[in-house]
Structure 1
């Protein structure tokens, strides 16, 4: 199967050498897939300057740029992300999807599952393995549910325009703790700038 007769360009970002080689082999043996850069980190993949539009099989737990920030970075390059991770809990799945991933598989997936997901995503669809789909179905506000109560409180104060010092005073915590909460919120949501966090809070009803 191919997308309109076109070969599907697929890259891989995975820091485990054996798994990286195995995924690259599965992809390269498929008749409708052309292997794009294979790298052990997001910066290494970025350095290859792959033109926008390929599907990228991405592990979440990488050195350097990791988790939702890794998804956001690769999506920002113009690629469609399929996360394949050994970490497949509700928080990881919802965080990756909210950061822009088009699909999510656990590393229990076999080669056929990866190829099926890649083809669906290349064709413009999304793909989440049935075992993980319940996380999305059970969460009407998936991204909101991955934040703790304290993180939602911090985010609501950010959306209200409060500075870090004001948030610390309002919550009776230190500025350092506020910034720690903010970093976790950024990692979970994939939003880095304060205006983007404010927009996210409004979209998710965290105000």
Structure 2
């Protein structure tokens, strides 16, 4: 059972998220918070698996709350959930330790899938967010022509295939389906890629892949 803590200053939003999460037999609502201060306290007391964190709240905002939660309980999976998907909100949330970033107009099924992926250790992102991150990496790569190209030695052909699909934004389950592998095998490959490249998140893997010229054909 995935225990979810909902953090949003709007009561109606929390009600809607509660109904959505409780419609999934594998999820339960561990608690609700209306601001960052409450979120930090409840994480310590309730120990949720996933925190759905709004970023714009009065008092302590979601970015600061995420930073404090990760400092106290680094194993907590914080999934940023916001109306905005612009860079002013995205990068501070990632820097604070959020494992993923989902916009509020995400279809219900995709939001539930994002919560599951976060609980499993994955890094779910709305496709628009991932596309923009990758596009920015491409622009940066083109703008700094004198910089040496990123080289990723020691990767097996299969790891390169997995890395290309990670860069394209595919989930572990989607990668497993495309490559005719088990999901556990894909997780092993992703873990190996993170170890070999020194990255700590799926999104950093995706950006590194683009900078190295590895992408889905």
TM-score bucket of the superposed structures, by smaller chain: 0.5 to 0.7
Which stretches in structure 1 are left out of the alignment for 5+ residues? 1-6, 141-207
Query: Which position in structure 2 is the counterpart of 1:158?
Result: none
Structure 2 vs 1, CA of residues 138 and 98 (structure 1 numbering), >3 Å: closer, same or farther?
farther
TM score, norm. by length of structure 1 = 0.60
Correspondence 1:138 to 2:135: yes
| SS of 1:127 mapped into structure 2 | coil
Correspondence 1:86 to 2:77: no
Q: Distance in 2 between matches of 1:9 and 1:67?
A: 19
Q: Distance in 1 between matches of 2:132 and 2:119?
A: 23
Contact 2:36 2:62 survives alignment (8 Å): no
Give the drift of 1:138.
3.1
Correspondence 1:44 to 2:38: yes
- Match 1:68 to one of 59, 63, 67: 63
- Match 1:23 to one of 17, 21, 31: 17
Which stretches in structure 2 are left out of the alignment for 5+ residues? 138-217
Query: Which position in structure 2 is the counterpart of 1:191?
Result: none
Q: Distance in 1 between matches of 2:79 and 2:134?
A: 19
Give the drift of 1:139.
4.0
Structure 2 vs 1, CA of residues 99 and 138 (structure 1 numbering), >3 Å: closer, same or farther?
farther
Correspondence 1:8 to 2:2: yes
Once superposed, what is the RMSD of the aligned Cα atoms?
A: 1.9
Contact 1:52 1:77 survives alignment (8 Å): no
Q: Distance in 1 between matches of 2:92 and 2:27?
A: 28
Contact 1:13 1:57 survives alignment (8 Å): yes
Correspondence 1:113 to 2:107: no
Q: How many residue pairs align between the two structures?
A: 135
Q: Distance in 2 between matches of 1:90 and 1:118?
A: 22
Structure 2 vs 1, CA of residues 91 and 115 (structure 1 numbering), >3 Å: closer, same or farther?
same
Query: Which position in structure 2 is the counterpart of 1:192?
Result: none
Q: Distance in 1 between matches of 2:53 and 2:28?
A: 17
